[in-house]
Structure 1
């Protein structure tokens, strides 16, 4: 297939002409990855941002879409990030077995990598997945260089990039923010609970049976919210996030059904399960699925006004099994889709924000899943809304060293 030079030229021109992407950021590199996939005629393409000793896939297209949000461990970055020429070929036996098998399953025998450097140091890796063995011709090498240079320019300008932090904020700095945020979030349910309890105590005889039941319902609901918030705060403040995990093979479909059945009635009414009849087992801690699903469904419902259903689906791809929570809510801007997993991040910050929460839920979801050698990502849903996707290693033997904690 010939390089689509015309489409490439027009696409880059349009990228700089669009106010959403001309200044860089995640939306810009995501568009570049999709444009590069088309121009090169390859089935998949991805961009991994490096931070600290590791990294994370922040943009992907085609057959590489499964990797969005996947963390790169230090030894993988060391293997994939070479010195010398910026473009180089990466063989499947040079990456971790999980990635190698996933790529082989979609017919990719090798990967062309472009190391993106800024000020003499690598900041990202651009990867194109080829289906035909051999080497890249000069035209494709030139396209990789053009794309990589464009990405590097965005990083040099610093507008919205990097999207990942190398390290979390210092604990001392976190402490003041922790107290400021949580003092408000804890006070809200406590105030409501006390108000309804005082009403029952002082006006019991004046209330009819329906009013009493409603007060008791609100007290119970707010108490549940308070308990969940306290659990999140304790986990986040101690840094353990999820306590002790016991990974093992388990039936993800059963875990999802049981977790959905245990949701509050107001959430269950909006839930729509579209699960397959069979699914490969997952490898992880089954007890965490209820917490993860509750957080994702609660988040979807909170940001989805109206009566549109929140949909849960599941599937298996290569050496992973996954489930998705889909909504038709307000969505997350593409350039913010990775920040939602930061501790204390809020979709609408400030005194006038419409939605409650301490900004810990998705942070703990990511911590929980990544400690099980899986990963989680958010992306816009076609037609509006958000897709939250959670992936775990397969539990039927098709797992790599990462499943035993070596990756």
Structure 2
């Protein structure tokens, strides 16, 4: 960390952010730019922004060594930043959400600043420093406070922030859920049921005329569509059980993540399975800790989502890896990609994207993935893929 912030970088960065705001560009991608500016200006190893809801926070933007924490749910900070604008914390004195995710290096300090919009604290901006650098001085506090204020101003523009809006009143939400449930169920169930019935009728009425190849093809289609129908029913029932907390409630324990992923891939429908490319699946990973049975559901949803938003002749890549605290696996496609302002909305219940001829379907898959993963003390995130497409990343605790 330099003795003084890089004021030239600060000025250039602020101008760049204001140019984007003045041109009508705002939201999560601009917030990410502010986080990156904090890291660069203060000479930090990494930086992150946590957005606060009523009872919890979520890391929605992070750069540098903190990037793996994007998507992580965290406890609400309580009153730690209520009586001060910035706070310097020695990392050996706190079980810090970001610090445990730094890959390499020896961190010594976290400097945080609260971000306000009006009278509300909407989030906090954090930067992390290595042990070999000195303690941040008053100028570093002042610059971080300035950038936190800039981040807070983004919340007043009404363009994609907060990433997680305030929940609707209970009765309004219940009625909306009932209406959507009817619409989603009727729409999503109709296609596989219609196809299964059509092919079954064809087999009944034209058995001899179809010949052996035709009968085999009809049975194959019925089997494929029946599998889709079963997965859809599981999703709908799982979403319906949100209130009783039964989703993902199976006992947790150590398991082999790569082995679970390979078994999940083998159980996928043939057409989807053939599109998957297992690029990096090391056999010497430590054990993950969680619910092994959930991996099949999680991978199926992520792979199906990737297939839906990419062309038939492209591959969907699956890889796995580890760091000091977590195991991860990624599902990456070369599809239409996800807009930065949608990377958090995509996990909302019933949220649907419209990207040309691609449709998001019921809007339950990613919602259920996040719930399943977070019940195992893990987290999941989406991000645009360099060169086009989307990367979904799941992180689970090490056993």
Q: TM-score, normalised by structure 2?
A: 0.92
SS at match of 1:116: strand
Instruction: Name the count of aligned residue pairs.
Output: 390
Pick one of 45, 48, 55 that aligns with 1:46.
48
- For 1:233 and 1:267, the matched residues in 2 are separated by 21
Secondary structure at the counterpart of residue 289 of structure 2: strand
Report the Cα distance in structure 2 between the residues aligned to 1:208 and 1:227, rounded to whole angstroms.
29
* Conservation of the 8 A alpha-carbon contact between 2:248 and 2:294: no
> 8 Å contact 1:21–1:27 — kept in the other structure?
no
Question: 2:177 & 2:370 partners in 1: Cα distance?
Answer: 18
Which of 207, 215, 223 is the aligned partner of 1:204? 207
| Cα contact 2:66–2:101 (8 A) shared by 1 | no
Deviation for aligned residue 1:209: 2.2
> Cα deviation per residue 1:321-342 (whole Å; 9 max; x = unaligned)?
1111111111100010111111
Aligned to 1:373: 377
Of residues 379, 383, 390, the one that matches 1:386 is 390
1:338 match: 344
Shift of residue 384, structure 1, vs aligned partner: 1.1
Mapping for residues 356-371 of structure 1, pairs under 5 Å: 357-371=361-375
Q: Is the 8 A contact 1:63 1:106 kept in 2?
A: no
Report the equivalent of 1:401.
Answer: none
Instruction: Spell out the pairing of 1:2-401 with structure 2 (5 A cutoff).
Output: 2-18=4-20, 22-74=24-76, 77-78=77-78, 81-96=80-95, 99-103=98-102, 106-132=105-131, 134-167=134-167, 170-239=173-242, 240=245, 242-273=247-278, 274-348=280-354, 354-355=358-359, 357-395=361-399
- Is this contact kept in 2: 1:43–1:62, CA < 8 A? yes
Per-residue CA distance 1:251-286 (angstroms, 9 max, x = gap): 111111211222222122121111123111111011
50-59 or 203-212, which deviates more: 203-212
Structure-2 change in CA distance of 1:20 and 1:373 (3 Å): farther
Q: In the TM superposition, what whole-angstrom CA distance separates every residue of 1:359-378 from its partner, at most 9, and x where no partner exists? A: 10110000000000000000
Shift of 1:62: 0.4
Q: What is the Cα deviation at residue 33 of structure 1?
A: 0.9
How many angstroms apart in 2 are the aligned matches of 1:385 and 1:106? Answer: 31
Q: Cα offset for 1:21?
A: 7.6
Any gaps of 5 or more consecutive residues in structure 1?
Answer: 396-407
**Aligned mates of 1:206, 1:321 — CA distance in 2:** 54
Partners of 1:43 and 1:275 lie apart in 2 by 29
**How far 1:299 moved relative to its partner?**
1.1
Gaps of 5+ in 2: none
Residue 197 of structure 1: how far off its partner (Å): 1.4
Question: How has the CA–CA distance of structure 1 residues 94 and 158 changed in structure 2, closer, same or farther, with 3 Å as cutoff?
Answer: farther
Residue 198 of structure 1 deviates from its aligned partner by: 1.5
Residues 99 and 161 of structure 1, relative CA distance in 2, 3 Å threshold: closer
Q: Which moved more, 1:35-44 or 1:227-236?
A: 35-44
SS of the equivalent of 1:83 reads coil
* Structure 1 vs Structure 2 CA RMSD: 2.2
**Are residues 290 and 262 of structure 1, via their aligned partners in 2, closer, same or farther at CA, if it must alter by over 3 Å?**
same
1:137 Cα offset (Å)? 2.0
What TM-score, normalized by structure 1, do the two folds share?
0.90
SS at match of 1:246: coil
How far apart are 1:298 and its partner, in Å?
A: 1.3
Deviation at 1:19, TM superposition (A): 6.7
